[in-house]
Amino acid sequence: MVIGFRWYRYVTNAESPYDEVGIELNSRMPAPINKWGCVTLHATFGGALPPYGCQDSADARKWR
């Protein structure tokens, strides 16, 4: 439960998309949850480079 809350707080209220713990948690989430987290982060930080786990497989500088 604590891990889920920490992940949710990262994707919805992050001050930066580069929080190390949040990135690690999001990258290890199942695909549908990870996708939602990346979409949410992209809506907030669309102008920033995507964090690990939200990068496009062809171009790491683009959101997937």
- What's the CA gap between 59 and 22, in Å, rounded? 22
- What's the CA gap between 11 and 35, in Å, rounded? 11
Confidence of residue 62 (pLDDT cuts 50, 70, 90): very high
Q: Which two tokens stand for residue 34?
A: 């990870």
Confidence of residue 35 (pLDDT cuts 50, 70, 90): very high
Q: What is the DSSP letter of 50?
A: P
Residue 1 has pLDDT above 90, yes or no: no
Q: What is the DSSP letter of 58?
A: S
pTM for the full predicted model? 0.89
Q: Which two tokens stand for residue 63?
A: 């959101």
CB neighbour list of residue 61: distance below 8 Å, 6 or more residues apart: 49, 50, 55
